[in-house]
Amino acid sequence: MHDANVRLLRMKMRWFWFVGFARGILLGASCTSLLAPIASSICQAQTPQVEATRLDGGTAVLDGPWKFHLGDDRGWASPGFDDSGWENLTVDEPWGMQGHRSMDGFAWYRRQVKFATNETLPVNLSILVPSVEDAYELYWNGRLVGSYGHLPPNPSWYWGLRPRAFALGPSASGLLAVRVWKAPFLTIDTGKQGGFYAPPRVGSAQAIALAMQSLDYQWLQGELFNLALNLLYALVGLFTLAAWLRERKQPLIGLMACYALSRVLFYVFFSSRFPVSEDVALPLAEIWQAVSDISLWFLLVWLLDLRGNKKLVRLARILAVIYSVELVSDALAIWGYSLPNPKPAQLLDDCLTALQMVLQMFPFCILAVAVFQRRRLTVSRWAVAALAFAAQMVFVFSIALLNGSRFTHWTIGETLNEPIFALWGSQVNAVTLSSAMLFVALVYAVYQYSVESSKRQSALELEYKNARAVQQILIPEATPAIRGFAIDTVYKPAGEVGGDFFQILGTCGGGVLAFIGDVSGKGMPAAMTVSLLVGTVRTLAHYTESPGEILAAMNTRMLGRSQGGFTTCLILRADVQGKLTVANAGHIAPYMAGKELAVEGGLPLGLTAGSTYPESTFALDVGVQLTLMTDGVVEARDKNGELFGFERAAKISAQRAESIAQTAQQFGQEDDITVLTLCFQGVPAGA
């Protein structure tokens, strides 16, 4: 019985202690909830202070809580203003990450600075403000001591956060007030921006200068990889630009120069610290981004051997024009951000950015066409295509996912832009890494293409050299001397190898058989055609001296051998009695005494089987000059595009052959020029 009473007593005591403990918890919670507003009000009423105890040769960091308030009132700079109702924020991260997401416009920071009484302070204090977005004014004890950018009503702010140092004057405790203006959010802004990104420092002018140098060094170290990459882009761009200016017939080299230099200029205006206001720097950065994108399109078209796809090339040109129009419109939209009501500009910027994202996807189409057409390309060219695809995909998606993230709160875009690894203290993200890999692939592919082009050029030069050698053999270097006739010839090819030809042969009766003609085309094919014609002429001259019969035989020989071209030829025979017989196969008629002879014409050689060439007969007077020329004279063109023409050719036809050729050449030679003059001098009796 006693044991039972003891057990019952113990159970009652346990229950008593349990109830008491529960009541204590509830009472404590109630007291906490009642005291929380009081503690909060005490915290709000207390202005944050800093004890700068080590200023000798050093600086003090003004971290911890600052008083913060949205809005604008110049009276908030006064030390006597009561900021007890303001909230507390830290200055090591922007206000967008401390409960004020997507807030732009004005805001103020205030901070009491109280130095230790036993501290040996410098004569003058300075303050270092590492980074504040976007423009601000700094007040010390109600006095404006410095600013960065320009605040509304005429705002001007800079792209990127740059540290600034300001002199506070004679050392004393006081109040710091910072009036901050955040510009309207861009499409790529996350809404987490605004205000301070790092706490300021105070100290002597020398210490602040050293701290400033340290921040600059940290920035430089962080940008080391980007700076090195863009320096390589600049070197390659300048080298390829010089190569393209020396050889304009290499469009790929020019495209590479355009792509590389535009990437450098984009970095200068978008990522560097050049003191250019954002409303100027951002449109310029977007312009160079577009130039880079368009250059990359045509680089891919060229390297993937898609130049023959006319639809794709036409589409690329159309999209390039659309991209250019979009850029101009977007620049106007960005300038609208400084207007009192930036909402229309923001809406227009959002729409144009969406269009820009679509245009930047065009390399995917180029690669798809190359894969679909199963192009047989070198490994380097396919590597360029694959890396261009990857780089563009990373860039486009990183930007696209940032766009509108202040509404969706997606963080994927920020993740893509976060560093993957550090190289010598420089942070490298996916966009930078893919750009570097694409750069290496492009340089290697363009180098290989240049080597291949050099080999092709060497082979072509060898072909021209051989063709030139053939032509030199076929075209007589010295004019044959035929009694009774003064003959002069001039041949001026437009290039290494021309298509003009002429021959002068003597007849059995002591007369002259002259040929002049023009083969369409250049190079070795034209030289081989000329060799065939000259050989045919020399062979036929042994069997007949009739100009019409020779042309008919030449036409038969040329059938099926013109390769889509044609050949014009004129043959004349002049005997010692002054009789002239002419047959023409589509060539320019000869001139006599400054007038065009009425020669009956025929079709060019090699076009139609069975063509006949009628002969026209004229009488040559002693001392009269007969002039034959190719179309290089009449088709000479000046800088304004005007042709030399038949009228001018007729006026100078009585001049010497050299004079006629020089006149046409100086006017503006575009084709081979050949001039042959024949003056009948008569033959003495009994000769």
Tokens of 501: 């030809």
| Cα 208 to Cα 57, 124, 125, 127, 205, distances in angstroms | 10, 11, 9, 7, 5
Residue 14 has pLDDT above 50, yes or no: no
Q: For the residues of 492-509, what is the DSSP string, one character each?
A: E-SSSS-SEEEEEEE-TT
177: left (phi > 0), else alpha (psi -120 to 50), else beta? beta
In the 8-state DSSP scheme, what is residue 192?
-
pLDDT at 36 over 60: no
Residue type, 34: L
Burial of 225 (0-12, 13-18, 19+ CB in 10 A): buried
Name the residue with higher pLDDT: 13 or 198.
198
pLDDT at 221: 84
What DSSP element (H or E) covers 18? helix 2-45
Name the CATH topology of 51-218. Answer: Jelly Rolls (2.60.120)
Mean pLDDT of 348-376: 82
Residue pair 43/88 in contact by the 8 Å Cβ criterion: yes
Name the CATH superfamily, with its identifier, for domain 475-680: PPM-type phosphatase domain (3.60.40.10)
Residue that wins the pLDDT comparison between 196 and 216: 196
User: Could you give the CA distance from residue 526 to residue 498 in angstroms, rounded to a whole number?
Assistant: 7
Residue from 638, 623, 624, 636 nearest 674 by CA = 636
Q: Is the pLDDT of residue 684 over 80?
A: no
What's the mean pLDDT when you consider all of the chain?
80
Binning pLDDT at 50, 70 and 90, where does residue 472 land?
A: low
CB-based contact 606:567 (threshold 8 Å): yes
Whole-number percent of the chain with pLDDT over 70: 82
Asked whether the predicted pLDDT for residue 9 surpasses 60, the reply is: no
Q: How far is CA 232 from CA 41, 261, 455, in A?
A: 58, 10, 27
**CA neighbours closer than 13 Å in the CB half-sphere of residue 288:** 19
Furthest C-alpha separation in the chain: 179
Cis peptide bond N-terminal to 83, omega within 30: no
The pair phi, psi for residue 12, each rounded to 5°, is -65, -40
Query: How many angstroms separate the CA atoms of 421 and 427, rounded?
Result: 6
- Asked whether residue 571 carries a pLDDT value surpassing 90, the answer given is yes
The answer as to CATH 1.20.1070 being correct for domain 223-456 is: yes
- Residue ranges per structural domain of the chain: 51-218, 223-456, 475-680
